[in-house]
Structure 1
Amino acid sequence: MSLIKQLWIAIIVIVLLAFGSSFFISAYQTKNYLAEQLQVKNIDNATGMALTLSQMDKDLTTIELMLSAQFDTGYYRRIALRDVAGNIVTEFSLPAQQVNAPQWFIRLLNFEIKPGIAQIQDGWQRFGTIELESQTDYSLVALWQITKDLALGFLIIAMGCGVTGSILLNRVRGPLNQVVTHAEALGNRQFITSDEPATFELKRLVAAMNRLTGRVRFMLEQEQKQLDHLQRQYELDQVTGAFNRDYSASWLEGYFNNADRSEVSSVFMLRVTNLQGINLQFGRAETDVWLKQMVNVLQQYHGVRLVSRLNGSDFFIIADQVATTTSMCGQLVDQLNNSCLLDENHNTAPVLLVGLSLDAVNSRQQTLLQLDAMLVEVESVPPLQSKILQQLQPYDTLADATAWLKAIKQAIDSERIMSKVYPVQLRDGNLLHQEAMLRVSINNEWLSAGQILGWARRYQFTSQLDIAMINRALSQLAADETLQLAINISDQTLTTVAVHYQLLTLLQTLPKTVCQRLSLEFDERLVIKHQLLFISFAPALKALGVSVGLQKCGYAINNIQDLEKLGIDYLKIDSAIVLRYKTPEAAKILTSLIKLAHALSLTVIAEGVVSAEDIKGLYQLGFDGLTGPGIA
């Protein structure tokens, strides 16, 4: 309940208590006072009339006329004359009148006044007794008017207090809302700072939270600097900033170990021709600048996941299949020829590029051997600059991309979508969740995500697949209260605000107990490229109870600005780093990465775990959970 409502309730309760007490004290005191005055009046008037009648002739007609004239003044409810024996000689009375006051008030405060009684003398003898009762209706109406005035006064005071209190409280609500937002952010592991408000108590609270945020941020900065230093020392080429040979080899190993990869990738090998001659012609320093520029061009190109340097002149490139391997190879060569010319005398950059789709090979060794052989072939046929291994994909049974798109749409509409789950095991043996991997039935054959997403991405259809997968997952979660599922979210879903609204609307229709067992995962590289969108989308998901995590993390975690503000729940470390955990260099990097995540209270999960030996070693290194082929 808001403070404004609480304030009004408090004011109403206080006013009711004050009015109730004042009403009973004032009303009863006034009633008693009026009753005493009416009683005295009854006695005085009866005595006065008795004296007057005692001095008159005892003619009954005259006495009746006098009593009638007195009664007609309207101040009396009853006047009666009794003889010595107590019998009524004459009596004047008014029937009960309608009083302009509520019945409950009349019943509560009705006057009960004894009549005034006086003796009438006839010389030395008693003539009779006069009884007189004054009219009380006027007093009751006056008492009701006093009560109404009192209630109105209290109501005006209450309204004034409420309005004044609301105005004063509204001045406090801004800083108070800021404190609440800050506290909620801390609860969601978002370490932000706030301006200190003027209110003394709130100022102390905000200052304490800011100190906590400052300490956490300082600790994070130190951990990030340490991680960045280790990555530069052990994973990156010192000259170009590209990854080293070990990282790319480990990435390929993890790729082929993953039987249910989300998407087929393309790989390329680039060779700088006559690097020794370029060094002699331009000097080592200028050549190093040119090599770094070339790597930057490759890294910034759309779809390129990573670039590594295998040796002095050879570079290895991994790219998502946003286009065909052939078209991407041609686009990369054109980009290099436009951006990396050595001088005006050359029309092309001194590079050779060969590539293949990873569905054409079966292992890391075969991949590298095939690329080496293709490079030798290109070098032997100048001026040939590039070559692609052409091999028909085994699942390429449809006519073209349009046919694939139509088939995917039909599969979604007819709900021919399912998921294959892989467990994520925690240190204590329990499951954090199960990763749901996409399966789509096309031509009566169940195809994996790696066989589908390349086609869906070409027509910007991946968000529809995401929504379909989430719909299916939510149905499974509603049917099984013990199930917990995680779904990977594509780049199109992250970058399209309309899809955000569609997904949030869907989640809002479900009980929070269902949403709390759903996890949505985003690639680290996507968050780096679209951090502002992620920062706005992730809190909305978490407000509905959905867990949010990053997958394929590690190689660029330091590129995420203000990591503590993301509010994520867990990290899944890329198998390219995990598979090398036995080497001292990789172990140092993983330890630093785990310390950074634990400083944010994040769960850290290793991807690509293969054997039981890996399970023991990775837990000893500090991981909270594991996933991969070795986790049953």
Structure 2
Amino acid sequence: MSLFKQMAIMLSLFLGIILISVMILNFKSATEFVQNQLYTDAKNTAHSLGLSLSKVADPSDTSSMETMINAIYDSGYYQRIRLVDVEGKEIYTRENDVRVIDVPQWFIQWVPIQNATATSDIMIGWSRFGTLEVSGHTGNAYRQLYSTLIDLSQTFLMIGAVVFGLLYLLLSLSLKSLKRIRDQAKAIIDNEFIIEKKIPFTTEFRSVTVAMNAMVEKVRDIFERENETLRRYHELLYKDAETKLNNRCYLTAKLPDYLQSDASLSSGVYVMVSIDEIDRLKREKGYERYSKLITHLAEEMNAQVGPFHHALIARLNESDFFAALPSCDTSSVVHQIEKLLLNVKTVIEGIDSTVSEYLVIGSAVGTYSEKDTLKSLFSRADHTVTQAKLRGNFLIEIDQEKEDSLILRREEWRNELLQSLNESRMLLAFQSAVEQRAGELSIIHEEIFLRLLDREGTIHSAGYFIPVATSLGLIDTLDRYMVEKVIKHVKEQNTMTPLALNLSGDFVKKYANIQWLRSHLELFSRQSDLKLWFEVSNTTAIHELEAVSTIASMIKMFGYHFGIDHFTIPESGAHYLQAIRPDYVKANSAYLQDMMFDDTTGKSRESFHNVVRSLGISIIAINIEEPQEVEKLKELGIERFQGTYIAPVSLL
């Protein structure tokens, strides 16, 4: 029971007892007054009427006496007026039964009133004539008391309503600050840091609010400092000091996420720019001119290929630059690289025209797919850029690797994808994510993937068609199909293992899709107790923060889990995690080892743990391909894993 209810009940009982006690005492006093008044009226009437009867000249003239008695009886409230002689013989009597028609019977039974009878001796001359008895009428007393009760009840109800209204208002105002303190504490649990600006006037609440504000500021300061430490370590580990581009270490940690067979970024175009004789340039022309050339080349890389969606640009070494451009084709990239080389040539001629006599710059442009590995992709890029430099200076060599996934034209792809949905040739596959603790292995969820069964019976991974579906604007249609098919599978198979569904950025950023998902989850949650897990990519979480926060809140409202796939901390830091508040993140094994393996100070590992796990986020290491990776990650405190070594992708 809330404090407000407890205080309201306690004060209500206290005030109620006081009001009822006062009302009972007042009513009791009124009853005694009416009882006394009844006797007083009877006594006064008996004396005054007796005196009048004593003045009758003829004692035998009872008719005059009767007239006087009738006059008094008819003009007052009396039950009986009786005249008897000295021997007790009745001379005259007026009497009426007590009947009260405007007072409820329960009141008459609840409030007993004793009728009062007064007597007066009748003296005619010096002789005693008889005795006059007068009994009051209790009906009038009951009417007065009942009217008094009604008035008291109305008065006390009005007073009670006013008092309880003021009590509610005062309690609400007093406890409003306590509610804000509660909301502040709940916000800390939800990884939000709220400083309460309104300081309550109540001394106890004021001290609690001040203490809570101090604690929130301290927690927020810890988070900010750890986040800044982690951001700086991230920059030191993954940034090239000269150009501020990503370095080779970041590329090798991040590019496997692009090459994932089930990632929408798994096919596209790569670009490699290489410079020969860079050491000679530094030696003969000095470091300043070398730095000017390298800085300009980095700026041109950002200017020409940076605008491509999800572009990944890195400096491999002193003389080589590399970029991965998902969901692109070579024709759309070559023109930009031609502009890049032309601008670099202009800069070189501006530095020193003799430099171009020995400085050779070449570029390779080709495609990559989910079938590539880091080794094979870099090998092809090195070979292609070498061919470009052998043919001459400032030339581009096109890698003629066959683009299997783009054999079909766009309309043919559209028809094929839509028909595969109608014909249920879009299959579900899964890969288990496990938790290994104290030597025991348990499945935490199974991540769902889409597979395309073509008309020849060949099953293709998502990397074969997802990039094309993305460019055709069909990716959210595939997401809806996946959700519906998973729900249908759960109903038919009555599976007990949680299933994880990865939602695309196109699906998340459309409000209609979120409403559609809400309606399906409402129906599903009423029919099944199975907990679903939903994920978005780290890139989607960063660029569609508001939409992702909305869908994350909605999913957690149903009691389901929400996570971020392919997690890496961006240059701006981990603040976006506070807005989304995911239950878990999935990060590449190589990335986790880079961020958490710090033999010198252990500071990066501590900061990573403080930033991620202090927000209540669990970590799942993905792309596990070797048993040695599991052992290294377990030493770093990671207990959840997913990858081909753990479990291969299988059809559901």
Which TM-score band (shorter chain)?
0.7 to 0.9
- Find the counterpart in structure 2 of residue 367 from structure 1: 377
CA distance in 2, matches of 1:414, 1:442: 11
Q: Does the CA contact (< 8 Å) of 1:571 and 1:602 recur in 2? A: yes
CA distance in 2, matches of 1:60, 1:338: 146
Q: Is the alpha carbon distance of 1:76 and 1:174 closer, same or farther for their aligned partners in structure 2, counting shifts above 3 Å?
A: closer
- Find the counterpart in structure 1 of residue 209 from structure 2: 206
Q: Is the alpha carbon distance of 1:152 and 1:471 closer, same or farther for their aligned partners in structure 2, counting shifts above 3 Å?
A: farther
How much has 1:352 moved relative to structure 2?
Answer: 1.4
Per mean C-alpha deviation after superposition, the further-off stretch among 508-517 and 550-559 is 508-517
Q: Which amino acid aligns with 1:438?
A: L
Q: Is the alpha carbon distance of 1:254 and 1:414 closer, same or farther for their aligned partners in structure 2, counting shifts above 3 Å?
A: closer
* 1:181-192 equivalence runs, <5 A: 181-192=183-194
- Find the counterpart in structure 2 of residue 385 from structure 1: 396
Q: Does the CA contact (< 8 Å) of 1:423 and 1:431 recur in 2? A: yes
Q: Does the CA contact (< 8 Å) of 2:270 and 2:324 recur in 1? A: yes
* 1:485-564 equivalence runs, <5 A: 485-504=499-518, 506-507=520-521, 511=525, 517-535=531-549, 537-554=551-568, 556=570, 559-561=573-575, 563-564=577-578
Q: Which amino acid aligns with 1:329?
A: V
How much has 1:532 moved relative to structure 2?
Answer: 4.6
Q: Does the CA contact (< 8 Å) of 2:563 and 2:583 recur in 1? A: yes
SS at match of 1:21: helix
CA deviation vs aligned residue, 1:103-138 (integer Å, no higher than 9, x gap): 544443353424445666899999776543323334
SS at match of 2:148: helix
Q: Does the CA contact (< 8 Å) of 1:190 and 1:566 recur in 2? A: no
* 1:45-444 equivalence runs, <5 A: 45-46=45-46, 48-50=48-50, 52-53=52-53, 56=56, 57-81=59-83, 90-93=93-96, 96-99=99-102, 101=103, 104-109=106-111, 111-116=113-118, 130-161=132-163, 164=166, 178-199=180-201, 200-251=203-254, 260-261=262-263, 264-274=266-276, 276=278, 283-297=289-303, 300-321=306-327, 323=328, 325-330=329-334, 332-333=336-337, 336=340, 342-343=346-347, 352-359=363-370, 361-381=371-391, 384-393=395-404, 400-409=409-418, 419-428=428-437, 429-439=441-451, 443=455
CA deviation vs aligned residue, 1:40-67 (integer Å, no higher than 9, x gap): 3324434554565466524443343232
How much has 1:516 moved relative to structure 2?
Answer: 9.0
* 1:455-474 equivalence runs, <5 A: 455-473=468-486
- Find the counterpart in structure 2 of residue 39 from structure 1: 39
Q: Is the alpha carbon distance of 1:619 and 1:75 closer, same or farther for their aligned partners in structure 2, counting shifts above 3 Å?
A: same
* 1:14-33 equivalence runs, <5 A: 16-33=16-33
- Find the counterpart in structure 2 of residue 604 from structure 1: 619
SS at match of 1:132: strand
How much has 1:288 moved relative to structure 2?
Answer: 3.1
How much has 1:598 moved relative to structure 2?
Answer: 2.5
User: Unaligned regions of 5+ residues in structure 2, if any?
Assistant: 351-359, 648-652
Q: Which amino acid aligns with 1:469?
A: M
Q: Which amino acid aligns with 1:519?
A: W
Q: Does the CA contact (< 8 Å) of 2:98 and 2:138 recur in 1? A: no
CA distance in 2, matches of 1:375, 1:314: 10
- Find the counterpart in structure 2 of residue 614 from structure 1: 629
CA distance in 2, matches of 1:374, 1:401: 28
- Find the counterpart in structure 1 of residue 642 from structure 2: 627
CA deviation vs aligned residue, 1:233-253 (integer Å, no higher than 9, x gap): 443332223333344345556
How much has 1:72 moved relative to structure 2?
Answer: 0.8
State how many pairs are aligned.
623
Q: Is the alpha carbon distance of 1:340 and 1:540 closer, same or farther for their aligned partners in structure 2, counting shifts above 3 Å?
A: farther
Q: Does the CA contact (< 8 Å) of 2:275 and 2:320 recur in 1? A: no
CA distance in 2, matches of 1:299, 1:171: 59
How much has 1:621 moved relative to structure 2?
Answer: 0.9
CA distance in 2, matches of 1:292, 1:368: 19
Q: Which amino acid aligns with 1:400?
A: R
How much has 1:271 moved relative to structure 2?
Answer: 1.6
CA distance in 1, matches of 2:335, 2:135: 115
Per mean C-alpha deviation after superposition, the further-off stretch among 311-320 and 110-119 is 110-119
Q: Is the alpha carbon distance of 1:180 and 1:515 closer, same or farther for their aligned partners in structure 2, counting shifts above 3 Å?
A: farther
Q: Is the alpha carbon distance of 1:17 and 1:173 closer, same or farther for their aligned partners in structure 2, counting shifts above 3 Å?
A: closer
- Find the counterpart in structure 2 of residue 577 from structure 1: 591
SS at match of 2:564: strand
Q: Which amino acid aligns with 2:214?
A: R
User: Unaligned regions of 5+ residues in structure 1, if any?
Assistant: none
CA deviation vs aligned residue, 1:328-381 (integer Å, no higher than 9, x gap): 5336426736876644979xx95513121214x443333222222322333344
Question: What is the Cα-based RMSD across aligned positions, in Å?
Answer: 4.4
How much has 1:190 moved relative to structure 2?
Answer: 2.2
CA distance in 2, matches of 1:488, 1:567: 17
How much has 1:327 moved relative to structure 2?
Answer: 4.1
Q: TM-score, normalised by structure 2?
A: 0.79
Q: Is the alpha carbon distance of 1:171 and 1:29 closer, same or farther for their aligned partners in structure 2, counting shifts above 3 Å?
A: closer
Q: Is the alpha carbon distance of 1:204 and 1:524 closer, same or farther for their aligned partners in structure 2, counting shifts above 3 Å?
A: farther
CA distance in 2, matches of 1:217, 1:67: 96
CA distance in 2, matches of 1:131, 1:39: 12
SS at match of 2:75: coil
CA deviation vs aligned residue, 1:139-158 (integer Å, no higher than 9, x gap): 33333333333334334434
CA distance in 1, matches of 2:170, 2:424: 57
How much has 1:286 moved relative to structure 2?
Answer: 1.0
CA distance in 2, matches of 1:329, 1:319: 9
How much has 1:96 moved relative to structure 2?
Answer: 2.0
Q: Is the alpha carbon distance of 1:35 and 1:522 closer, same or farther for their aligned partners in structure 2, counting shifts above 3 Å?
A: same
How much has 1:38 moved relative to structure 2?
Answer: 0.6
How much has 1:73 moved relative to structure 2?
Answer: 0.3
- Find the counterpart in structure 1 of residue 354 from structure 2: none
How much has 1:91 moved relative to structure 2?
Answer: 3.1
CA distance in 2, matches of 1:28, 1:413: 86
How much has 1:187 moved relative to structure 2?
Answer: 1.4
CA distance in 1, matches of 2:458, 2:101: 92
Q: Does the CA contact (< 8 Å) of 2:364 and 2:381 recur in 1? A: no
Q: Which amino acid aligns with 1:37?
A: Q
Q: Is the alpha carbon distance of 1:253 and 1:534 closer, same or farther for their aligned partners in structure 2, counting shifts above 3 Å?
A: closer
Q: Is the alpha carbon distance of 1:287 and 1:130 closer, same or farther for their aligned partners in structure 2, counting shifts above 3 Å?
A: same
CA deviation vs aligned residue, 1:144-201 (integer Å, no higher than 9, x gap): 3333333343344344445555665676677556434422221112234332524344
CA distance in 2, matches of 1:164, 1:454: 66
CA deviation vs aligned residue, 1:382-428 (integer Å, no higher than 9, x gap): 5752414352426x68x533344455456667877654332322343
Q: TM-score, normalised by structure 1?
A: 0.82
Q: Does the CA contact (< 8 Å) of 1:81 and 1:91 recur in 2? A: no
How much has 1:15 moved relative to structure 2?
Answer: 5.5
CA distance in 2, matches of 1:409, 1:91: 108
How much has 1:582 moved relative to structure 2?
Answer: 11
CA distance in 1, matches of 2:131, 2:458: 119
Q: Is the alpha carbon distance of 1:263 and 1:243 closer, same or farther for their aligned partners in structure 2, counting shifts above 3 Å?
A: closer
* 1:445-456 equivalence runs, <5 A: 447-456=460-469
